[in-house]
C-alpha cells in the first residue's frame, strides 16, 4: 500500500494538478496578494512525495546516493527558510522530467507468450510397426496402426510420431518414413519450403506442408529447437539493463559537492539564504530533462516517417551502431516467390507455351512452387488446360496427362527416375540458376525435357542505395541468414554486402552476433521472422520489419519499420546520431548554466526564487533544442 502512494502522486494527472497550483502561487507572488494558504504547498506535497520516497529508498535500501536526494534536500531547505515557490518549482520540473522519461522507455513484453504458443501441445504417437505404412505409398493409414493423441509432455526421445499435412511438428526428430515439404521459416527463415525424406531432420514448431511422415523423436521438451528459441529470447531480454539517466550516475558526486559548497558558503558568509540558493541552483533539472526531451522529440519525428522507436535506450544505442546485420528473406527481399525465368529447350515451345504447359500440370498441386507458377500464368492471362491422371510425389515432383501427353514437373532426380534424359544444356542452365539462388522446376513432355521454370525471391528496390548510404556513413553491413550459401551469396552480391554468413540456425545467429560484439562492434540486427527474435534481442539494437514481420519479431525488437521501408535505415542512423550529439550538448549547456548560477549564488546575486528561475533557463533551452530536433529534416 505504501509503495502505491508515490506512484499515485507521480502520475501525469497529479503532476498537472501540481503545476496548476504552482502557477497560482506565482500569480499571487507577482500580484503580492495576501492569502492564508500558499498554493505552492500542494505542488510541494504532490511532487515532493515521489522524490522523497525515491531518495530514502535509494539511500537506505539500495545504498546509493541519487539525484532525488539532492532535490529533496534543496526542497526541505527552501521550505525551512519560507521559499515555498522555489521548493515547488524544483519538484515540479523534476516530476515533468520523470514522466517524459517513463514515456520513452515503456516496452511491450508479450511477445514471449506468443512464441510459447507456437509449440504444439500434443503429438500423435504411433507404434513402430506402423512406420512402414507411410513409406512408398505415402498413405499413413495403410496397414495396422496403433496411434494416440498424447500431451507433448508425455513424449519421450525415441518415440515414433506421425505428422499429417498442415500440422506443426511437435519435436525435433528424424524422418523414418514418408517424404514431404516442410516450412522451416520459424527456425531458419527460409522462404522456400524444404523437401525432406527418410533420414532428414525436422524441427519442433515447423509446419508439415505436404505428405504424411513418421518421425523418430530425438529432442523433446526443453531440448527442442523451439524451446531453445524461447529460452534465447528470455535470456537476451534479461541481459538488457534499463537505461540509466546520466544525472543519476553523476549524483554520487553532485550531492556531496552541492552540500560542501553550500556549507562553505554559509561558513564564510553566515548567510543561510545564500547556502539554500546554492542547493536550489545545484538541482539538476535541465540535466534531468536533457535526455528524455531530446529522445521524445526524436521518437516523435521518427514516427512521422514510419519508424517506431520503443525506448530512449534504443535510440541512444542506434546512434552508436557501427555495423548492421541483415536477415535476408523478408528483410532484404520481399519474401514472396515469383517466376523469374522461363527457359525453353524445345524450338516448338515458346516461353509462353512452356509456362502454360507447366501451369496446367501444376493446377492441382498444393506445393508453394506450383501455386506460384499457376498464379503467374493467370496473371499473364493464359488459359489452363485440363489434365488427367494427376499424381504428386512429395519432395520430388508430379506427373499429369495433358492432351494425351505425359507431363512431368519436378527436380532432376524425379525426371531421370521416370525416363526423361537431361542434356548438357539443361545441366548448365540448372547450375546457373542455382548459383543465382533460384528454385528450378524442370518440365518434361513425353520423356523429353522441354524447359525450366525458375522461381526466386526478389531484392527490394531500395536495398542497393540503402547499403551504399550506410557505407558512405562508415557503417559496415553483414548478412546473417538461414538460407543456403549459394542463395545468400547471390543476394548479398546484388545488395553490395561483402560479409555473408549462411545456413545459420537461430542459436548460430545469436552466436555470430555475440562474436562480432566481442570484437567491440556495436551491432544492429534487422529481421522479420520468429527465428530472428533471439538475434534481435541479443544485438545492441534490434530492428524489425513492422508490416511483414511476425508479431514475435516486432515485440523482440527495439525499433520497428512500419511499411517495411528498409530505405529508412540510413535516416534512422542519422537521426539517432544527431540525438546523441544533442543530448551531450544539452548536458554540457545545462551544467555550464548551473555552474554559473552557483557562482552568482555565492556572491548573493541570486536568491532561492531568482536562482530557481535562472537555473531553469537551462531547462527551457533544453526543451527548445528538442523542439528544433523534432522539426529538423534527416530524410
Residues 351 and 393 in one domain: yes
**Within a domain: residue 102?**
no
Which of 410, 437, 456 corresponds to the end of one domain?
Answer: 456
- Percent of the chain at pLDDT > 70 equals 85
- Of 16-20, 184-188, 276-280, 415-419, which range is least confident? 184-188
Q: What is the DSSP string of 12-40?
A: HHHHHHHHHHHHHHHHHHHHT---SS-TH
Query: Residue 192 has what pLDDT?
Result: 66
Residues 416 and 471 in one domain: no
Residue predicted with more confidence, 17 or 287: 17
Query: Residue 229 has what pLDDT?
Result: 60
- How far apart are the C-alpha atoms of 418 and 193, rounded to whole Å? 24
pLDDT tens, position by position, 460-479: 989 999 999 999 989 999 99
Residue predicted with more confidence, 442 or 584: 442
User: Phi and psi for 585 in degrees, rounded to 5?
Assistant: -65, -45
Beta bridge partners of 207: 168, 183
Residue predicted with more confidence, 435 or 478: 478
φ/ψ bin of 628: left (φ > 0), alpha (ψ from -120 to 50), beta (otherwise)? alpha
**Within a domain: residue 112?**
no
Query: Residue 176 has what pLDDT?
Result: 92
Number of residues that this document lists for the chain: 635
Average pLDDT over residues 368-383: 92
- Contact in structure between 278 and 265 (CB atoms under 8 Å): yes
Residues 175 and 203 in one domain: yes
Pairing relationship of beta strands 448-456 and 338-344 according to DSSP bridges: antiparallel
Which of 173, 192, 223 corresponds to the end of one domain?
Answer: 223
Residues 349 and 316 in one domain: no
Query: Residue 240 has what pLDDT?
Result: 44
Residues 373 and 417 in one domain: yes
Res 324 pLDDT > 90: yes
**Within a domain: residue 87?**
no
Residues 469 and 391 in one domain: no
**Within a domain: residue 193?**
yes
**Within a domain: residue 233?**
no
**Within a domain: residue 593?**
no
Cα–Cα distances (Å) from 562 to 156, 302, 483, 559, 575, in that order, read: 43, 11, 25, 10, 17
**Within a domain: residue 113?**
no
Please give the grid coordinates belonging to residue 26: 506565482
3-state class of 575 per DSSP?
helix
Residues 488 and 565 in one domain: yes
pTM, rounded to two decimals: 0.64
- How far apart are the C-alpha atoms of 279 and 258, rounded to whole Å? 6
Average pLDDT over residues 414-443: 89
Query: Residue 452 has what pLDDT?
Result: 95
Residues 386 and 463 in one domain: no
- Of 29-43, 212-226, 409-423, which range is least confident? 212-226
Which of 427, 456, 485 corresponds to the end of one domain?
Answer: 456
Residues 342 and 401 in one domain: yes
Residues 413 and 487 in one domain: no
Considering its fold, how many domains does the chain have in total? 3
Residue 552: pLDDT band (50, 70, 90) is low
Residue 316: pLDDT band (50, 70, 90) is confident
CATH number at residue 197: 2.70.150.10
Residue 242: pLDDT band (50, 70, 90) is very low
CATH number at residue 349: 3.40.1110.10
Res 495 pLDDT > 50: yes
CATH number at residue 538: 3.40.50.1000
Residues 394 and 491 in one domain: no
88: closest CA among 619, 605, 598, 613?
613
Query: Residue 255 has what pLDDT?
Result: 72
- Contact in structure between 111 and 234 (CB atoms under 8 Å): no
| Range of the structural domain that residue 398 is part of | 338-456
Burial class (CB within 10 angstroms; exposed 0-12, middle 13-18, buried 19+) of 120: middle
Query: Residue 239 has what pLDDT?
Result: 46
Please give the grid coordinates belonging to residue 312: 530512449
**Within a domain: residue 2?**
no
Residue 244: pLDDT band (50, 70, 90) is very low
Residues 326 and 464 in one domain: yes
Burial class (CB within 10 angstroms; exposed 0-12, middle 13-18, buried 19+) of 533: buried
- Contact in structure between 546 and 560 (CB atoms under 8 Å): yes
Question: Which active-site residues does the annotation give?
Answer: 327
Helix residue ranges, H only, 436-567: 463-472, 485-495, 506-517, 533-538, 551-556
Average per-residue pLDDT for the chain:
83
- Contact in structure between 179 and 394 (CB atoms under 8 Å): yes
Res 130 pLDDT > 80: no
Residues with Cβ < 8 Å from 1, sequence gap 6 or more? none
Average pLDDT over residues 56-84: 81
Query: Residue 106 has what pLDDT?
Result: 47
pLDDT tens, position by position, 509-535: 999 999 999 998 999 999 887 778 889
Amino acid at each position: 500500500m505504501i509503495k502505491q502512494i508515490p506512484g499515485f502522486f507521480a502520475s501525469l494527472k497529479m503532476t498537472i494538478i501540481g503545476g496548476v497550483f504552482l502557477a497560482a502561487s506565482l500569480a499571487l507572488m507577482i500580484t503580492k496578494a495576501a492569502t492564508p494558504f500558499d498554493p505552492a504547498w500542494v505542488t510541494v506535497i504532490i511532487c515532493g512525495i515521489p522524490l522523497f520516497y525515491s531518495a530514502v529508498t535509494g539511500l537506505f535500501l539500495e545504498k546509493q546516493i541519487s539525484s532525488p536526494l539532492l532535490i529533496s534536500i534543496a526542497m526541505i531547505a527552501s521550505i525551512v527558510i519560507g521559499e515555498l515557490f522555489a521548493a515547488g518549482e524544483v519538484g515540479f520540473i523534476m516530476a515533468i522530467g520523470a514522466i517524459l522519461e517513463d514515456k520513452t522507455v515503456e516496452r511491450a513484453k508479450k511477445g514471449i507468450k506468443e512464441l510459447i504458443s507456437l509449440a504444439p501441445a500434443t503429438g500423435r504417437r504411433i507404434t513402430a510397426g506402423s512406420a512402414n505404412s507411410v513409406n512408398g505409398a505415402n498413405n499413413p493409414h495403410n496397414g495396422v496402426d496403433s496411434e494416440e493423441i498424447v500431451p507433448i509432455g508425455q513424449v519421450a526421445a525415441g518415440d515414433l510420431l506421425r505428422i499429417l499435412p498442415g500440422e506443426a511438428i511437435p519435436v525435433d526428430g528424424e524422418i523414418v518414413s514418408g517424404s514431404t515439404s516442410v516450412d522451416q521459416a520459424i527456425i531458419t527463415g527460409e522462404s522456400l519450403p524444404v523437401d525432406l525424406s527418410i533420414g532428414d531432420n525436422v524441427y519442433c514448431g515447423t509446419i508439415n506442408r505436404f505428405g504424411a511422415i513418421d518421425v523418430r523423436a530425438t529432442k523433446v521438451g526443453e531440448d527442442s529447437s523451439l524451446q531453445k528459441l524461447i529460452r534465447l529470447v528470455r535470456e537476451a531480454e534479461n541481459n538488457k539493463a534499463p537505461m540509466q539517466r546520466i544525472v543519476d550516475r553523476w549524483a554520487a558526486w553532485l550531492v556531496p559537492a552541492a552540500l560542501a559548497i553550500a556549507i562553505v558558503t554559509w561558513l564564510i558568509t553566515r548567510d543561510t539564504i545564500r547556502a539554500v540558493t546554492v542547493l536550489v541552483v545545484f538541482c539538476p533539472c535541465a540535466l534531468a530533462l536533457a535526455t528524455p526531451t531530446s529522445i521524445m522529440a526524436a521518437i516523435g519525428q521518427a514516427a512521422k516517417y514510419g519508424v517506431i522507436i520503443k525506448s530512449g535506450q534504443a535510440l541512444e544505442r542506434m546512434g552508436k551502431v557501427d555495423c548492421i546485420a541483415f536477415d535476408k528473406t523478408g528483410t532484404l527481399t520481399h519474401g514472396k516467390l515469383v517466376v523469374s525465368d522461363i527457359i525453353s529447350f524445345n524450338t516448338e515451345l515458346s516461353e509462353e507455351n512452356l509456362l502454360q504447359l507447366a501451369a496446367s500440370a501444376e493446377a492441382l498441386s498444393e506445393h508453394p512452387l506450383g501455386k506460384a507458377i499457376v498464379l503467374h500464368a493467370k496473371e499473364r492471362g493464359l488459359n489452363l488446360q485440363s489434365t488427367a491422371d494427376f499424381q504428386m510425389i512429395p519432395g520430388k515432383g508430379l506427373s499429369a496427362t495433358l492432351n494425351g501427353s505425359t507431363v512431368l514437373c519436378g527436380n532432376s532426380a524425379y525426371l531421370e527416375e521416370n525416363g526423361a534424359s537431361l542434356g548438357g544444356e539443361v545441366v548448365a542452365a540448372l547450375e546457373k540458376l542455382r548459383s543465382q539462388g533460384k528454385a528450378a522446376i524442370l518440365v518434361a513432355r513425353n520423356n523429353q525435357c522441354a524447359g525450366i521454370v525458375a522461381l526466386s525471391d526478389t531484392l527490394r528496390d531500395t536495398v542497393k542505395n540503402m547499403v551504399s548510404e550506410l557505407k558512405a556513413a562508415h557503417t559496415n553491413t553483414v548478412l546473417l541468414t538461414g538460407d543456403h550459401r549459394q542463395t545468400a551469396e547471390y543476394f548479398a552480391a546484388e545488395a553490395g554486402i561483402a560479409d555473408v554468413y549462411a545456413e545459420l540456425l537461430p542459436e548460430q545467429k545469436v552466436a555470430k552476433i555475440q562474436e562480432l560484439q566481442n570484437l567491440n562492434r556495436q551491432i544492429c540486427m534487422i529481421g522479420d521472422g520468429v527465428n530472428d527474435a533471439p538475434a534481435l534481442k541479443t544485438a545492441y539494437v534490434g530492428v524489425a520489419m513492422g508490416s511483414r514481420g511476425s508479431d514475435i519479431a516486432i515485440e523482440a525488437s527495439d525499433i520497428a519499420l512500419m511499411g517495411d521501408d528498409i530505405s529508412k535505415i540510413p535516416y534512422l542512423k542519422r537521426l539517432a546520431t544527431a540525438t546523441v550529439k544533442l543530448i551531450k550538448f544539452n548536458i554540457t549547456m545545462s551544467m555550464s548554466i548551473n555552474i554559473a548560477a552557483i557562482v552568482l549564488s555565492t556572491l548573493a546575486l541570486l536568491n532561492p526564487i531568482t536562482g530557481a528561475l535562472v537555473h531553469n533557463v537551462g531547462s527551457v533551452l533544453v526543451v527548445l533544442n528538442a523542439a528544433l530536433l523534432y522539426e529538423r529534416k534527416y530524410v
